[in-house]
Amino acid sequence: MPFNIGWTGILLIALVGLLIFGPKKLPQLGKAFGTTIREFRTSTKELVESDQEDGDVKKDARH
């Protein structure tokens, strides 16, 4: 788990979130968080792939 948070810590965070935002807003926040994480992973994957392609082009140019 990231940041070494156990199940009790996750449960505590979820409970605090439920108390602060309420039961109607919490699913919307979870969906927005999931979408943000998905977009972040996609963009970092694209950056890594483009860096690898640039590295391959530079290696080919040297030989």
Separation of alpha carbons 47 and 63, rounded Å = 25
Per-residue pLDDT of the chain (63 residues; tens, 9 = 90+): 457 888 898 889 888 988 998 888 888 988 999 999 999 999 999 988 887 877 765 665 555
How high is the pLDDT of residue 26? 82
DSSP code string of 1-57 = -GGG--HHHHHHHHHHHHHHH-TTTHHHHHHHHHHHHHHHHHHHHHHHHHHHHHHHH
Take residue 6 and report the two structure tokens written for it.
């156990």
Give the closest residue to 26 by CA, choosing from 8, 7, 41, 13. 13
